[in-house]
Amino acid sequence: MPGNDITIRRALARDCDVILHHRRSMFAEMKEGGPHELDETVKVARPWLMTSMSNGTYQGWLAENGQGKVLAGAGVVVLSWPASPKNPENRRALIVNVYTEPDFRGQGLARRLMMTVLDWLKEQGFRSAALHASEAGRHLYEKLGFRATNEMQLRLE
Domain enclosing residue 16, as ranges: 7-143
Residue (of 94, 86, 92, 99) closest to 136 by Cα position = 99
Residue (of 97, 98, 74, 78) closest to 87 by Cα position = 78
CATH number of the domain that 134 lies in? 3.40.630.30
**156 part of a folded domain:** no
**104 part of a folded domain:** yes
- Could you give the 3-state DSSP secondary structure of residue 78? strand
**153 part of a folded domain:** no
What are the pLDDT digits (tens) for 91-112?
999 999 999 999 999 999 999 9
What are the pLDDT digits (tens) for 8-66?
999 999 999 999 999 999 999 999 999 999 999 999 999 999 999 999 999 999 999 99
pLDDT of residue 152: 86
**127 part of a folded domain:** yes
Residue 85 backbone phi and psi in degrees, to 5: -55, -35
**133 part of a folded domain:** yes
Q: Which one is predicted more confidently, 70 or 134? A: 70
- DSSP strand pairing (130-131 vs 91-100): parallel
**76 part of a folded domain:** yes
What are the pLDDT digits (tens) for 126-153?
999 999 999 889 999 999 999 998 888 8
**152 part of a folded domain:** no
Residue (of 139, 39, 58) closest to 96 by Cα position = 58
Q: How many domains does the chain have?
A: 1
Q: How confident is the model at residue 4 (pLDDT cuts 50, 70, 90)?
A: low
Residue (of 2, 19, 11) closest to 98 by Cα position = 19
**87 part of a folded domain:** yes
**Residue 137: which residues within 8 A CB-CB, separation 6 or more?**
98, 110
